[in-house]
């Protein structure tokens, strides 16, 4: 298979083209009620990143897709963002009744630190109960999203 796309780590000089691609994405999504996220990918000029960190947290990695040619042309990009994951261990109904307040506070805390989302996995068996306990909070079941991820179980993890 001949692939004419090469992925590489993004650098600050790529930002103008990344912004153009975001603009194009917003035009494609116009009228769909889907917001195009635009997190800050790079540190501000003069801002000193922590050692070993290239991108503005919670962004962990930015990659651009280029098509070769004179000159190479960036045709897409992707970014990896750290997302807080809530892990709850309880069987106590009184604990469940406090989740709306507790998880709302959690949402506000991490939003103030630059995170734009958070998540947790809920077994299907408990999803309706969790939705009931958190109905007066910003915590919602994401009905139209499907979870994807790396399953390392075949590797013994």
The predicted-structure confidence for 115-151, as pLDDT tens digits, reads as follows 877 777 788 888 888 888 888 888 877 777 777 777 7
Beta bridge partners of 61: 80
pTM of the predicted model, to two decimals? 0.75
Tell me what percent of the residues of the chain surpass a pLDDT of 90: 39
| Predicted pLDDT at 8 | 96
| Predicted pLDDT at 2 | 62
Q: Across all residues in the chain, what is the average pLDDT?
A: 87
Distance in angstroms (rounded) separating the CA atoms of residues 77 and 79: 7
Distance in angstroms (rounded) separating the CA atoms of residues 115 and 60: 12
Q: Distance of CA 154 to CAs 98, 147, 151, 157, Å?
A: 38, 18, 7, 7
Q: Given pLDDT bands bounded at 50, 70 and 90, which one contains residue 33?
A: confident
For 14: left if phi > 0, alpha if psi spans -120 to 50, otherwise beta; the answer is alpha
């Amino acid at each position: 298979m001949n692939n004419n796309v090469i992925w590489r780590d993004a650098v600050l000089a790529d930002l103008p083209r990344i912004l153009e691609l975001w603009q194009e994405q917003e035009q494609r999504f116009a009228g769909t009620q889907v917001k195009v996220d635009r997190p800050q990918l790079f540190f501000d000029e003069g801002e000193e990143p922590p050692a070993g960190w290239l991108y503005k947290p919670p962004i962990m990695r930015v990659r651009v897709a280029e098509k070769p040619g004179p000159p190479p042309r960036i045709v897409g990009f992707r970014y990896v963002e750290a997302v807080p994951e809530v892990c709850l261990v309880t069987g106590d109904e009184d604990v469940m009744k406090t989740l709306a307040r507790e998880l709302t506070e959690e949402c506000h805390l991490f939003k103030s630190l630059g995170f734009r989302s958070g998540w947790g996995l809920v077994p299907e068996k408990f999803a309706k109960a969790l939705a009931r306990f958190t109905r007066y909070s910003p915590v919602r079941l994401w009905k139209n999203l499907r979870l994807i991820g790396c399953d390392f179980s075949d590797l013994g993890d």
